[in-house]
Amino acid sequence: MQIEARLKEMGIKVPAAVTPVANYVPAVQTGNLVFLSGHGPYQEDGSLITGRVGDTLTIEQGYEAARRVGIGLLGSLKSLIGDLDRVKQVVKLLGMVNCSADFLDQPKVINGASDLLVEVFGDKGKHARSAVGMNALPLNIAVEIEMIVEVEG
């Protein structure tokens, strides 16, 4: 329960897996890999963080939205694998930012999730990543992130 203790020290409460908004599941495991579907930024009260970075949201607000997505991803991962100490390596993130056409700092926004994962898992949280801008995201969410994780057998 080392990861659970670290999260508690950080003041982070890991939520239950998100309820999908369409015909898919939050996460699927095949072999030792877990593929997590795109997650949006839920606040603790269950509301979504919406808006466009570079328009109605600042980089800092986008960063916080990405961090909230990271926490949600951990919730879905824990719901599937039972124990976050089973994480061997966070392999890859795909971060999508709902942003204005002239916004060019998508990596700074997605750092919200990347920084969280490294804080939680240390070197096991370091991952490959893409951070891209989108014209729109479902429900006008600020950020959507997918994740691939390797777990211990």
Which domains, ranges and CATH numbers included, belong to the chain? 2-151 (3.30.1330.40)
Secondary structure letter of residue 30 according to DSSP: E
Nearest to 137 by CA among 18, 35, 41, 24: 41
Chain centre distance of CA 72: 6
Tell me which amino acid residue 52 is. Answer: R
111: nearest Cα among 134, 135, 127: 127
Rg of the chain over all Cα atoms, to the nearest angstrom: 14
Q: pLDDT of 9-57, one tens digit each?
A: 999 999 999 888 899 999 999 999 999 999 999 998 999 999 999 999 9
- Residue pair 144/138 in contact by the 8 Å Cβ criterion: yes
CA distance 88 to 85: 8
What pLDDT, on the 0 to 100 scale, is given for residue 21?
83
Which tens digits make up the pLDDT trace of 100-119? 999 999 999 999 999 999 99
